[in-house]
A and B are shown apart, each in its own frame.
Chain A
Amino acid sequence: MHVKRFAGFTVFFLILLSTCAQAGPEIQHWISSKGARVYFVRTQGLPLLDVRVVFDAGSARDGKQFGVAALTSTLLDAGAGGWDADTIARRVEGVGALLSTGVSRDSAWLALRSLTDSRKLTLALDTANAILRAPTFEQKDFDRKKKQMLVALQRREESPGALANVAYFKALYGDHPYAHPVNGFTDSVKPLSRDHVMSFYRRYYVANNAVVVIVGDVDRGQAEAIAGTLLRDLPEGERAPALPAVVVAPAGKTERIQFASEQTHVLSGMPVVRRGDPDYVPLYVGNHILGGSGLVSKITEEVREKRGLSYSAYSYLVPMARKGPFTMGLQTRNDQTDQALEVMLQTLNDFIAQGPTDKDLGDAKKNITGGFVLRIDSNKKLVEYVAMIGFYELPLDYLDRFPEQVEAVSREAVADAFKRRIHPDRFQTVLVGGGAKPGGE
């Protein structure tokens, strides 16, 4: 157990945000016979392999059944191909493999890590294939997983930070499929049936809607065989249609939600950038300076270092298939909430008005490019980046080009991108906290 000096969004950034390397990895790409996009990087030095099978089957595909994507994902390894959950777990863990499934707004995935030892790897891959190809969704497993999800939704009500996030996305996205939380709501999960899950699975867990990522110590021939095994007998199906465009609300609003906590959690921002957006690099560099670089960023400097108002104060950009949010956030003692929010917004307004200084920009470039190699220095980090490149169909040399693009960004380009794309008057602000309501219950 330990307590860190600064809990930034490091992990988050590694997974979600783009970046690159002077000598990026050589990504090999092909289309499987079933129509799935396959991406492969050979790494050497350790006898291990990381695999991701990513589907365009995130919660944005829930339709009206909020939570069905998450429930489907969590049920995959609860029974498949004639094996029950116990057998699946024993098969995987008996060879020391790690297997998990997960879901976000844009995607759902299966992640597998295994040794390259052929007996172990074959067993792990066969199990993964069964999970993708023939999940049984038995009623008793469905009932159990649904109950667990409902409990998790109740627990969400314990957390002011989680509630702030739910309210924030609702404020940002209105009727868009990004608006609801990945796990849905109690009222939307309760009516879900096994049929909902099965039809979701049949529609979206198909080869044409899949991306396979393989990173590890195997050769091209083996990688092709691995992709074949993973997708064996998976129907070709159809790719999911493009999600609707995001309509950004013309006016900002502030929502205060009373919560019996010591701190108030604050989130403020708007939908801004999608993957492949031409403004992404200047926005990324600007955000790095403003609130994306931990303790040396302007927001942390003003909120935490100068005033001691928060442990964690930050801004981030999450590019998604459609416009993902630019978000600023902090948590602070209830009685100083307004002050902290004002300092944070003022920092943004100053940054938009003045843009970065030459020194700001130089420092940011040095940090991003000088440390770029750190972002892909392990198999685990690499597989996340390659999955991002594959899923969003970014150029294969994306990791090579990103540092060059950062290097080429000018002060004017950052200032211009922020002026054009970030509009504080259109920000949705959510505050959750304030302490107990007077009068109790």
Chain B
Amino acid sequence: MSFLLRSLLFVVLALPVLVHSAEPQVHEFTLENGLKVLVKEDRRAPVVVSQVWYKVGSSYEYGGITGVAHLLEHMMFKGTKKHPPGEFSRIIAANGGSENAFTGRDYTAYFQSLEKSRLAVSFELEADRMRNLQLLDEEFQKERQVVLEERRMRTDDKPRAKTYEYFNAMAHTNGGYRNPVIGWADDIKHLTVADLNDWYQRYYAPNNATLVVVGDVDPNEVLALAKKYFGPLQPSSLKSVKPRTEVEQVGPRRMTVRLPAKQPFLVLGYKVPALKNVQDEVEAYALEVLAGILDGGNSARLATRLVRGQQIAVSAGAGYDLYSRLPSLFIVEASPAPGQTVGALEQALEREIRLLQEKAVSQQELDRVKAQVLANAIYERDSVFYQAMQLGTLETVGLGWKRMDEYVERINAVTAEQVLAVARKYLIDDRLSVAVLDPLPMTNKQPAQAQPGGRHAR
């Protein structure tokens, strides 16, 4: 469901900060061992967030070891020579902090939020586990079970999440976004401590990481602290990552996912470039605006026309990931209203796509998207955590944090003609994948061998 969240909160989550005249600037440093340090002052409250971002995520995984990035992330809390398993969390807690970590397709990141005077506590622990992790088999065996439980909770028992998993595996042929972030269950079951150790040795090094600090801090003092704790760490000689460029799609792809469920569900994905790999950057920003035209709130097209107007959908969303490392999917998803078929809903979505290709969007729609972008740029500065997330994401996917500064301006420059052009170029059949969740009765867990008629009444 992570995607659903992203699409519904499109404006809140996907758009970065406005560089306002009053906004404090970002200070960038690089330590001798290659660790990049980004510091942004936000003095509104006496707090600090510290995040360590590694340039590795599930899209770096290859066949048979999917889930290794995420399982290693769990094991990063399981001790070093200096700190036994669990102590990391206990020390942060005793300092009034909160902490967690997350793995995405393009990154693995660790963070602590603390009262501002405790920053050194976080640095000491993060620096230690960057190079000195001890992977104990007994801890690994238990944590693998925890991750399998996590997978059951997030995916296996959620029909839509599972539909997305199958959908991504169909839409991508050989590229890094084919596999789920958490990994396939069978791969997780067969991971070994040695797999995790290889991963750790290869990717966890100061010259493959970015330290991001946002809060009530002095940039030079942060630099001094970073030097003290992270400075002594040895860099690695980093092997280049094989590109595994996604092969060209040569026709539409379609699948039916039959699972016990109560409601059908439809997802469409068009292969599109991201800012990082698009030839003409205007196109990426135009795709971002296009997502806002379709799903930038209650006044956007999907809600206005499909949910309220035609009442063919009970919910509908669209999303585009401007900042992914690899080319990704422009997603449109929807659930049919009662009495409507998935087929009719799909046709309605296709009509919306065609309209975008035939007629330029109105000035009023463009103005609305731009007004939202401007406002959200301010709203996002209410959260120190979110500000750090933006810096970390851009730096880690290889765009560089400075691209953040251009965002509002670039969106503002997008024209209706440019939106029309990307709709015509990218929202086409040859780039399309479609998945339909076709509900099976809830009481029967496994689809029976023979399904007369092929389709099930709910």
Query: Does B298 contact A2, Cβ atoms closer than 8 Å?
Result: no
CB-nearest residue of chain B to A88: B298
Question: Given the complex, which residues of B lie within 8 Å of A150, measured CB to CB?
Answer: 338
Main secondary structure of the interface of A (DSSP, over half): mixed
Instruction: Flag whether A148 is at the interface (Cβ < 8 A).
Output: yes
Q: How far is the CB of B191 from chain A (nearest CB, A)?
A: 14
Question: Given the complex, which residues of B lie within 8 Å of A97, measured CB to CB?
Answer: 375
Instruction: Flag whether A144 is at the interface (Cβ < 8 A).
Output: yes
Question: Given the complex, which residues of A lie within 8 Å of B297, measured CB to CB?
Answer: 89, 93
Once A and B bind, how many residue pairs between them come within 8 Å at the CB atom? 245
- A144 to B148 Cα, complex, angstroms: 40
- What 0/1 pattern do residues 302 to 316 of B give for CB contact below 8 A with A? 011000100100110
Instruction: Flag whether A12 is at the interface (Cβ < 8 A).
Output: no
Chain A interface size range? 35 or more
Query: Does B98 contact A436, Cβ atoms closer than 8 Å?
Result: no
Known: A309-B149, A377-B47. A159 touches B382 (CB 8 A): no
Q: How far is the CB of A84 from chain B (nearest CB, A)?
A: 9
Known: A1-B3, A93-B298, A307-B142. A46 touches B381 (CB 8 A): yes
Query: Does B384 contact A377, Cβ atoms closer than 8 Å?
Result: yes
- A437 to B441 Cα, complex, angstroms: 12
Please tell me which one of the listed residues A144, A148, A259, A296 contacts residue B90 in the complex, with CB atoms under 8 A apart.
A296
Instruction: Flag whether A408 is at the interface (Cβ < 8 A).
Output: no
- What 0/1 pattern do residues 367 to 405 of B give for CB contact below 8 A with A? 110011111101101111000000000000000000000
Q: How far is the CB of B322 from chain A (nearest CB, A)?
A: 14
Instruction: Flag whether A333 is at the interface (Cβ < 8 A).
Output: yes
Instruction: Flag whether B150 is at the interface (Cβ < 8 A).
Output: yes
Instruction: Flag whether B122 is at the interface (Cβ < 8 A).
Output: no
Instruction: Flag whether A429 is at the interface (Cβ < 8 A).
Output: no
Q: How far is the CB of A56 from chain B (nearest CB, A)?
A: 26
- A312 to B6 Cα, complex, angstroms: 23
Question: Given the complex, which residues of B lie within 8 Å of A409, measured CB to CB?
Answer: none
- A372 to B97 Cα, complex, angstroms: 9
Instruction: Flag whether A260 is at the interface (Cβ < 8 A).
Output: yes
- A106 to B395 Cα, complex, angstroms: 44
CB-nearest residue of chain A to B305: A86
Known: A1-B3, A263-B157, A311-B153. A94 touches B367 (CB 8 A): yes
Query: Does A295 contact B96, Cβ atoms closer than 8 Å?
Result: no
List A residues 2-33 near B (Cβ within 8 Å).
Answer: 2-6, 10
Please tell me which one of the listed residues B85, B299, B335 contacts residue A86 in the complex, with CB atoms under 8 A apart.
B299
Instruction: Flag whether A98 is at the interface (Cβ < 8 A).
Output: yes
Query: Does A378 contact B383, Cβ atoms closer than 8 Å?
Result: yes
Query: Does A374 contact B98, Cβ atoms closer than 8 Å?
Result: yes
List B residues 271-303 near A (Cβ within 8 Å).
Answer: 296-300, 303
Question: Given the complex, which residues of B lie within 8 Å of A44, measured CB to CB?
Answer: 44
List B residues 134-172 near A (Cβ within 8 Å).
Answer: 141-150, 152-154, 156-159
- A308 to B116 Cα, complex, angstroms: 34
Known: A144-B311, A147-B314, A377-B384. A2 touches B263 (CB 8 A): no
Please tell me which one of the listed residues B47, B159, B315, B367 contacts residue A373 in the complex, with CB atoms under 8 A apart.
B47
CB-nearest residue of chain A to B110: A5
List B residues 1-43 near A (Cβ within 8 Å).
Answer: 2-3, 6, 12, 43
- A85 to B113 Cα, complex, angstroms: 40
Query: Does B115 contact A151, Cβ atoms closer than 8 Å?
Result: no
List B residues 321-359 near A (Cβ within 8 Å).
Answer: 335, 337-338
Q: How far is the CB of B164 from chain A (nearest CB, A)?
A: 9
Query: Does A86 contact B181, Cβ atoms closer than 8 Å?
Result: no
CB-nearest residue of chain A to B458: A154
Instruction: Flag whether B237 is at the interface (Cβ < 8 A).
Output: no
- A147 to B337 Cα, complex, angstroms: 8
- A93 to B317 Cα, complex, angstroms: 17
- Please indicate which of the listed interface residues B182, B315, B375, B444 has the most CB atoms of chain A within 10 Å of its own CB: B375
Instruction: Flag whether B89 is at the interface (Cβ < 8 A).
Output: yes
Question: Given the complex, which residues of B lie within 8 Å of A373, measured CB to CB?
Answer: 45-47, 115
The interface size of chain B toward A, counting residues with CB under 8 Å, comes to 93
Instruction: Flag whether A187 is at the interface (Cβ < 8 A).
Output: no
- A349 to B100 Cα, complex, angstroms: 29
- A306 to B145 Cα, complex, angstroms: 11
Query: Does A5 contact B382, Cβ atoms closer than 8 Å?
Result: no
Question: Given the complex, which residues of B lie within 8 Å of A333, measured CB to CB?
Answer: 148-149, 152
Instruction: Flag whether A73 is at the interface (Cβ < 8 A).
Output: no
Please tell me which one of the listed residues A144, A259, A305, A367 contacts residue B86 in the complex, with CB atoms under 8 A apart.
A305
Query: Does A295 contact B77, Cβ atoms closer than 8 Å?
Result: yes
- What 0/1 pattern do residues 333 to 373 of A give for CB contact below 8 A with B? 10000000000000000000000000000010011111111
Query: Does B96 contact A95, Cβ atoms closer than 8 Å?
Result: no
- A151 to B264 Cα, complex, angstroms: 11
Q: How far is the CB of B258 from chain A (nearest CB, A)?
A: 13
Known: A2-B2, A377-B47, A378-B383. A86 touches B102 (CB 8 A): no
Query: Does B102 contact A312, Cβ atoms closer than 8 Å?
Result: no
- What 0/1 pattern do residues 148 to 160 of A give for CB contact below 8 A with B? 1011101101111
- A145 to B168 Cα, complex, angstroms: 32
Question: Given the complex, which residues of A lie within 8 Å of B304, measured CB to CB?
Answer: 86, 89
Instruction: Flag whether B178 is at the interface (Cβ < 8 A).
Output: no
- A158 to B158 Cα, complex, angstroms: 8
- A120 to B368 Cα, complex, angstroms: 13
- A44 to B45 Cα, complex, angstroms: 11
Known: A155-B263, A311-B153, A436-B444. A5 touches B115 (CB 8 A): no
Please tell me which one of the listed residues B73, B146, B383 contacts residue A310 in the complex, with CB atoms under 8 A apart.
B146
Q: How far is the CB of A127 from chain B (nearest CB, A)?
A: 12
- A354 to B379 Cα, complex, angstroms: 47
Known: A1-B104, A2-B181. A441 touches B47 (CB 8 A): no
Question: Given the complex, which residues of A lie within 8 Å of B70, measured CB to CB?
Answer: 3
Between-chain CB contacts (< 8 Å), 20 pairs = A3-B104, A3-B182, A5-B77, A48-B378, A95-B375, A98-B12, A98-B379, A113-B379, A115-B378, A148-B315, A263-B149, A305-B142, A306-B142, A366-B93, A367-B96, A370-B97, A370-B118, A373-B115, A374-B97, A441-B441
Q: Can you name 15 extra interface pairs (CB under 8 A) apart from A96-B373, A296-B89?
A: A2-B104, A3-B102, A89-B304, A147-B338, A260-B445, A296-B86, A309-B149, A333-B148, A363-B90, A366-B93, A370-B118, A371-B114, A377-B44, A377-B47, A436-B444
A-B interface, 3 closest residue pairs, ranked by CB to CB distance from nearest:
A370-B96, A96-B375, A371-B96
